[in-house]
Amino acid sequence: MTMRAAPLTILLLLAGCGASETSDGADSNMPARSWKYYAAHPAEIEPMQKICRQWAGSNAPTDAQPAVITTNCRAAAFAKSQLQLTE
């Protein structure tokens, strides 16, 4: 019985390894940015926050979110708050 279940189990595991629906392919090539980078390049804050909203709206567990996304989301949000304070 276990020999029959093995191929099915393998297929189910492989089916779960596909790209997430929130990923646009650019996530894996995304460089980590600091809040200072976003403060110096404010035009990049909104595109990053769009990615952050996509991840936040997904059903993916929080620990499945790539570290670079978490880092950039926090950096962009902090930079945005700093820029609003100086206005």
DSSP assignment of 27-53 equals GGGPPP--HHHHHH-GGGHHHHHHHHH
Structural domains of the chain, count: 1
Q: In the predicted model, what is the mean pLDDT of residues 23-52?
A: 86
Residue 7 included in any domain: no
Q: In the predicted model, what is the mean pLDDT of residues 13-32?
A: 56
Residue 73 included in any domain: yes
Residue 11 included in any domain: no
Q: What pLDDT was estimated at residue 47? A: 96
The percentage of residues in the chain with a pLDDT greater than 70, rounded to a whole number, is 68
- The domain in which residue 47 lies consists of 21-86
The pLDDT of residue 42 is above 90? yes
